[in-house]
Structure 1
Amino acid sequence: MTAVTVAGLLGLTACGGSGTAEGAGGGGTEVVASFYPMAWLAEQVGGPDVSVATLTEPGAEPHDLELTPRQIADIGEADLTVYVKGVQPAVDKAVEQHAKDTSLDAAAAVPTLPAPSGADEHEHGEEHGHEEGRESKVSYDPHVWLDPGRMATIATALGDRLAGADAAHAAGYKARAQSTAARLKQLDQTFRDGLKSCERDTIVTAHAAFGYLADRYGLTQVSIAGVDPSAEPSPARLSELTRRIRSAGATTVFTETLVSPKVAQTLAREAGVRTAVLDPVEGVAKGSGDDYMSIMRRNLDTLRSALECS
């Protein structure tokens, strides 16, 4: 399907960023990944047998992604598109229209948690969504990649799908999926060991991205914004958060790497606590030398310091 045909079908205009997916060289099986964590997983499991193209540019906030006609065509032409339904509505729409049978929704491969309603993960609603329709409406929290245990399950599912799409290299896909899942399970155990004995258990986050991590390791997430990291809280919400920080004895308000830290810094000043970066692993800047595993390990160190874990 050509880009012109796809553009005509969807009636879309191009957005900012490159007109093609950000690619990583490799083998003959073409994989399109929606954003960094799915690209990392595809590269680990696919190895030399795949070429991975990422729709979200390095360092860009994935929730804001719009697709160019060329990127929509890439989704339609790929052997497999790997994405998380509910994170990027433009990708969800393109997959629904052009890649229903050639896609893997990572959120469908694992048990999901209810969607946060508003800014607090414990106030559950039937749907969640960004303003102006920027977020797909789903009944679950889509941030599944922040639980290494769930990522291990997704790795196995991805290995099976790649083996089905490219039978000649099936053994390699399955072996790499098993190896990747084992590394992720070890990371999960490292988190369990590192967070099992802490002075406090409340994490105050910039947006409601860490529900799976909190659920996995017995923490309580209190978020400034909901699923949309760009949403700004009302003065009343900031006052409520200040009270909750003091009540919980929290020492830290966590900022992120891809969104402005100003609101979190303001809240931290008001509450008399410090700030630190807790990375939702939604994107990695070019040349940083980081990957999913190194960022998650750094997150663990940050949490242990903030929660005063022994």
Structure 2
Amino acid sequence: MKAVATPIVATFAASIALLMAGTASAKTPDVVVSIKPIHSLVASIMKGVAEPKLIVEGAASPHTYSMKPSNARAIQNADLIFWMGPNMEAFLDKPLDALAGTKTVVALSDAPDLQKLPFREGGPFEAHDHGDGHGHDHGHDHAHEGEHDDPAKGEDAHEPGHDHEHGGFDPHVWLDPINAKVLGREIAKRLVEADPEHAKQYEDNAANLMRQIDELDAEIKTTVAPVKDKPFIVFHDAYQYFEKRYDVTVAGSITVSPESLPGADRISQIHKKVTELGATCVFAEPQFTPKLVNVVLEGTPAKAGTLDPEAATLKEGPDLYFQLMRGIAESMKTCLSDKG
């Protein structure tokens, strides 16, 4: 006897088929991001769709990071990988090169309209121009997004043991919010290409991110305005994007990169600079020993502070970028203030 499907059974089967088809089509790409500041921007744009995975977690620094087996599995299983590029995450250079042609790997340092600045040579930086009495002339105009002046001329820093073979630009580009917006637009574009079904969500999230960054930018200008003419020293030369955007007075760095510790001559130069300028503050970073900062401070009235350009102390997620930028601004205001 031939079995006849009842209307109820047929309807149920059709519903299951539709559900399975919808589930398959709604699969989002597996997204992996190298470092916290970039992960935060990606997570903001992926809100309501999925959460990207992070490689350099916790207080680890991309400057000294070594790949773990779990990281290798994550990038092997990923559909889309975001990183800044070999100037920042040298540890990913060979692993990602081995995946060429099999994964979509996005080096955000190649994003169109991104303002990139060369590393500076030596410990003490060139004096700022106060000739007009109205701040510093950095030749860095963001009045029209996408129409940047050429970066300040300068040589790549080549300290012993530190190799800038990949082009010699400072990769901490996110410390200028205008650059963060450029990165956000590139991230959204790549997500839409990889996952067109969620294009509207990505685009809406990106538009909201742009508004939030504009508000953050205005807030930081107000925060640092009272102390922007006070000279200070940083642990490594990671802040020139922040410096040029907000006109603050970074007078020198203890090291160009934490990968290579400075010699006695450089420490002596920086100590002399602190004394000559009456530098108000010398900033350490949470991932690295403060011993060198203490040596620079010895015998001077300068105070010690902490800046966290790579968000070592912050919890990953969409809010991290905003916490990072506000934290830098507040630390500068606190340490450079005459009070305390």
- State the TM-score, normalizing by the size of structure 1: 0.80
Deviation at 1:76, TM superposition (A): 4.0
Q: State the match for 2:109 in structure 1.
A: 107
Q: State the match for 2:180 in structure 1.
A: 151
Indicate if the aligned counterparts of 1:277 and 1:302 stay in contact, CA closer than 8 A. yes
Residue type of the partner of 1:103? V
Correspondences of 1:80-159 after superposition (within 5 Å): 80-85=80-85, 86-99=87-100, 102-109=104-111, 110-119=114-123, 124-126=154-156, 131=161, 137-159=166-188
Residue type of the partner of 1:105? A
Per the alignment, in what secondary structure is the counterpart of residue 206 of structure 2?
helix
Q: State the match for 1:283 in structure 2.
A: 312
Deviation at 1:119, TM superposition (A): 3.9
- State the TM-score, normalizing by the size of structure 2: 0.74
Q: Which of 173, 176, 200 in structure 2 is aligned with 1:171?
A: 200
Q: In 1, Cα distance between the equivalents of 2:301 and 2:31?
A: 47
Query: Structure 1 242/261 Cα, relative in aligned 2: closer, same or farther at 3 Å?
Result: same
Indicate if the aligned counterparts of 1:146 and 1:281 stay in contact, CA closer than 8 A. no
Per the alignment, in what secondary structure is the counterpart of residue 271 of structure 1?
coil
Residue type of the partner of 2:98? Q
Q: Structure with the greater relative contact order (CA < 8 A, sep ≥ 6): 1 or 2?
A: 2
Deviation at 1:174, TM superposition (A): 0.9
Query: Structure 1 49/184 Cα, relative in aligned 2: closer, same or farther at 3 Å?
Result: same
Indicate if the aligned counterparts of 2:281 and 2:303 stay in contact, CA closer than 8 A. yes
**Paired residue total:** 282
Q: State the match for 2:77 in structure 1.
A: 77
Residue type of the partner of 2:47? G
1:35-91 Cα shifts (integer Å, max 9, x gaps): 111111111111132331111121112211222455334324322111111111121
Q: State the match for 1:50 in structure 2.
A: 50
1:127-149 Cα shifts (integer Å, max 9, x gaps): 6588376x763231111121222
Per the alignment, in what secondary structure is the counterpart of residue 288 of structure 2?
coil
Q: State the match for 1:250 in structure 2.
A: 279
Residue type of the partner of 1:187? L
Q: In 2, Cα distance between the equivalents of 1:182 and 1:65?
A: 33
Q: Say whether residues 1:37 and 2:37 are aligned partners.
A: yes
Q: In 2, Cα distance between the equivalents of 1:34 and 1:66?
A: 12
Deviation at 1:257, TM superposition (A): 1.3
**5+ residue gaps, structure 1:** 1-26
Q: In 2, Cα distance between the equivalents of 1:95 and 1:167?
A: 24
**5+ residue gaps, structure 2:** 1-26, 127-152
**Structure (1 or 2) with the greater strand fraction:** 1
Q: State the match for 2:224 in structure 1.
A: 195
Query: Structure 1 126/284 Cα, relative in aligned 2: closer, same or farther at 3 Å?
Result: same
Per the alignment, in what secondary structure is the counterpart of residue 284 of structure 1?
coil
